[in-house]
Amino acid sequence: MKKRILVLILILLVLAQFKRIDKTNPSITPEQDFFSVVNAPDAIQVQIRTSCYDCHSLETTYPWYSTIAPLSWWLADHVEEGRSHVNFSTWGALNEEKRAHTLEECAEVLEEKEMPMLPYMIAHRKAWIDDEQRAELSAFFTSLE
C-alpha cells in the first residue's frame, strides 16, 4: 500500500512539471520606476533593488528552482501578490494618496520584520537585511510620506 502511494505521488510530481509558470516580465517604462521618481542615496537604492525588486517590480529574476513544480507555482503566486501590494516599476503611475499609503506600508512591514520574507532572505543571502538596515529603509520610506 505504501509503495503504491509513493508511486502515485511520484507520478503526480512528474506530471506537475508540465504545468509551467510564465517567467517573462512585462515591459517596463523606465520613467515610471521608483528611482526615476524618487531621489534615493546609492546605498538605499542597492538595498531596495537587492531585497525588494524580485517580488515588487517588473524586474523579477527567477532562480533555477523556479522550474520545479509545485515550488514554481508558489514562487509565481508570491511575485504576483508582491506586485499587487507594491510595484516599484510602476511607481510613477500612482497618485499621491496611493504613494503615501504604500510608503507607510513599506515602513510598517520592515519594522514588523514581515519583509523581506525569511525564506527569501535565506535563499538570497545578498537580500539579507539586519535591524540597522531595516531602520534605515523604514526611515527612508517614512521621510517620503
pLDDT tens figures, 40-82: 999 999 999 999 999 999 999 999 999 999 999 999 999 999 9
Lookup: cell for 62: 527567477
End-to-end CA distance of the chain: 61
Q: Mean pLDDT for each consecutive 10-residue tract of the chain (145 residues)?
A: 89 89 94 96 96 96 93 94 96 96 97 94 93 96 92
Domain ranges, residue 9: 2-144
Alpha carbons 18 and 126: distance in angstroms, whole number: 31
Q: How far is CA 21 from CA 60, 63, 80, in A?
A: 13, 13, 12
Nearest to 123 by CA among 61, 67, 63, 76: 63
Q: Is the peptide bond before 26 cis (omega within 30 degrees of 0)?
A: no
Residue 28's CB: how many other CB atoms inside 10 A?
A: 15
Report the predicted TM-score, pTM, of the whole model to 2 decimal places.
0.88
Q: Is the peptide bond before 70 cis (omega within 30 degrees of 0)?
A: yes
Q: How many domains does the chain have?
A: 1
For the chain, the residue count is 145
